[in-house]
Amino acid sequence: MARFKHDTYIGRADDRVFDRLVRPGMLVPAEGIYRCECCGAELALTRYGRITSDHHRDEHPERRAGWRLIVSAENDDSPV
């Protein structure tokens, strides 16, 4: 689970980018922290990064993991 100490640095966003699931091999739509829908593992990725198929595949090889953006990093060109 992503954690934070100072809530003054975190803002709420209702952007649809948080609803999208990213599959291994796909480019991520935004820079930030992604969470695996199968096991809860988290990854920090830069925009235009990829979640590779070898990210903890031993945890659940029978399922195709879907990753969801849970915290975005705000940049000048970020979608949120």
pLDDT in tens, 12-22: 889 999 999 98
Name the E strands within the chain.
21-22, 32-36, 42-45, 67-72
DSSP annotation of 18 reads G
What local confidence, expressed as pLDDT, does residue 70 receive? 95
What local confidence, expressed as pLDDT, does residue 69 receive? 95
pLDDT in tens, 17-71: 999 998 888 899 999 999 988 888 888 998 888 887 666 666 665 566 789 999 9
Q: Give 74's pLDDT tier (boundaries 50, 70, 90).
A: confident
What local confidence, expressed as pLDDT, does residue 26 receive? 86
What local confidence, expressed as pLDDT, does residue 31 receive? 93
**Is the pTM higher than 0.95?**
no
